[in-house]
Chains A and B, each alone.
Chain A
Amino acid sequence: MIAADRNYLLRLWKSRVLLGLCVGALLVALVPLLSILWEVFSRGIPVINSDFLFERQIYQFKEGGGVANAILGSVYITGLASLIGIPIGIMAGVYLSEYGHGRFAESVRFFSDVFAEFPSIVIGLFAYVVVVGVMGHFSILAGSVALAVMMVPIVTRTTEESLQLVPNSIREASLALGIPKWRTTLRVTLSTARAGLVTGAMLSFARIFGETAPLIVTIGGSLYFAGSIEDTSSALTYVVWRGATSGIEAAEIRAWGAAALLLIIVLVINIVIRFVTLRRQAKGGAL
């Protein structure tokens, strides 16, 4: 009897310890997160002032200057990428959801999933050959193409999912009114699913806003405000990378500031997405 009790106690303790380790695992994840947030914000936010936000970059070695051209660059690049990538993704998602039943559609889905998490540097190289190679120089367009390619799989997947959530009875109601299928899809089905589509677009945008590797080999970097999509440009992520690896203190300080800005923007977008999704779920509607 006593031996059995002891055995059980041992097992119980073992259970507690190992489960405690799981809580420990959680800490392993939490500690770096908190540390990152702390370091970035404590070192970066003091750097942000109106000069920082509105003046363009100056030479690495000098102090001062701002990252306005980088902010603008990020906006241009991601904006153009969205303009290219989101419509492609939506149309592809429409195909998969409304017409895609065969093997072709299956392979589109499969590769779309596989490429959603692909090494971004490879996609940057692709844009290097296809855009930089053709144009002969680095440019915003090249960066946008790379980022657009990264957006397409995400938007395709989320679009297909959102459309699948639209009940078939809605489509039937529209078709029974004598509305052709294409207009049903465009005006009724897509419209019903628009909330999910927006979320997907936001998600993909948040993803590419923080990307650096593809930009390194496409946008070329610049201290000036870009004037057109053919110009080279800087970007927030680019500034962080250059500054952090430069070994120059002034540049490092600016890198922290840019990182803080970057983090704020990315986190805000993510929080907005989460908030919107939760509220929609609470209202009890489809996503």
Chain B
Amino acid sequence: MRLLPMTHREGASGTAPRWRLLPRWLGGARGARPPDDGADPLLVGLTGSGARRADALFKGITLLFAGLVIFLVFGIVGSLLYQSQEAWATLGIGALFGDEWLPGGQPAKFGSLPLVWGTLVTSFIAILIGVPVSIGIAIFLSEMAPPWIRGPVSVIVELLAAIPSVVYGLWGIFFLAPFLYDSVYPRLQANWGWTGLFTGQSTGYSVLTAGILLAIMIIPTVSAISREVFRAVPASQREAAFAIGATKWEVVRKAVIPYGRTGLFGAAILGLARAVGETMAVTMVIGNRNAFFGGLLEPGNTIPSVLANETYEASGVHLSALFALGVILFIVALLINIAARILVKRVLKQAEVAK
């Protein structure tokens, strides 16, 4: 609606102001024409700007887009289920949870356990190595480092997050794996072979390599959240510990960490979520062989790595079985992510309230 106060010259009697209401292109209700009978134009100026309709429309549109997010969740799992029907039908759950994944075999086998195993082991290694390192970094940044270091260092750690995973994979293939193969694995096999963990004909491309690479990749996420958790610990906790003569480490270990342990746990779960879903780096260094319960130095496969490698050329039951894997991965990733988010949110919220 246009508001065009008439000028002094245009106004007839020069007493009350005259308002001219013009209709808008939007289709708001047409305003009344300028009254020429001297009636107070205000009487026609209070209804029908069309704003109410436009407001409702706008709200509806934004609601639609927001609903798209939820729709996508169902859409994704729906599409996976749809494409995997054949597998569920013809193979059945039993075969899908068998212990051999051999799409090219005679007969072809689509047991997912080796892949689940690979996923679990690589993620577990990633957490085992990555979480302590991340917490160490978080301790350094929040308890030890002078303020001027914190900025640059946290930037550098975040830079790790910016590197595309395929570049990690590239580096893994041509640097990390050969390095581990040459310098680390022989020593591992020699000194720790008795644990039975480090069996396998190692070429460097193995489950352990993938786990180590994953550990590096989850550091930015886990350390960032750990830092938030530490920052949420009130200063009074630390001061109290210092006051009774604890060393710095003891303050961290006995006052700070216990206070934030739920949050740290949440950070670890988040790292787990990241590790489980990681595809490219893993698939490039894991050796792509479907061993089950092999040694750590044996090549293996994870669900994401198999999906990445085989989907492109798969068809028929094979393709369908891959999508069944996708369903499994979806559910696992969903549960882990939900758990992580709930934990982390709860801790950060508590901190807000406490402050």
Which residues of A are at the interface with B, using a C-beta cutoff of 8 A? 11-12, 14-16, 18-19, 21-26, 28-30, 32-33, 35-36, 39-40, 88, 91-92, 94-96, 98-100, 104-105, 107-108, 110-115, 117-123, 125-126, 128-130, 133, 149, 152-153, 156, 180-183, 185-186, 206, 209-213, 216-217, 237, 240-241, 244-245, 252, 255-256, 259, 262-263, 266-267, 270, 274
Contact = CB atoms under 8 A, between A and B. Distances in A.
B70 A108 contact: yes
Contacts of B270: 117
Contacts of B223: 29
Q: By DSSP majority rule, is chain A's interface helix, strand, loop, or mixed?
A: helix
Contact of A117 (B63, B163, B274): B274
A222 to B, nearest CB: 13
A42 B28 CA distance: 64
Interface in B61-106: 61-70, 72-73, 75-76, 79-80, 82-83
Contacts of A100: 66
B13 interface: no
Contacts of A181: 51, 55, 58
B70 A22 contact: no
Interface string B159-170: 110111111111
B135 to A, nearest CB: 8
Contacts of A122: 76, 80, 277, 326, 329-330, 333
A259 B167 contact: yes
22 contacts: A14-B247, A26-B140, A28-B133, A32-B216, A36-B163, A36-B167, A36-B168, A92-B65, A108-B70, A111-B73, A114-B334, A115-B73, A119-B304, A119-B333, A121-B279, A126-B79, A149-B72, A182-B58, A212-B165, A216-B308, A241-B280, A244-B174
B55 A33 contact: no
A244 B170 contact: yes
A33 B159 contact: yes
A213 B70 contact: no
Given A15-B250, A115-B73, A26 B307 contact: no
Given A18-B253, A99-B63, A245-B173, 18 more contacts: A11-B247, A29-B137, A33-B159, A39-B174, A91-B66, A115-B69, A119-B276, A119-B279, A121-B279, A126-B80, A129-B323, A156-B69, A210-B162, A213-B304, A237-B166, A241-B169, A244-B284, A266-B162
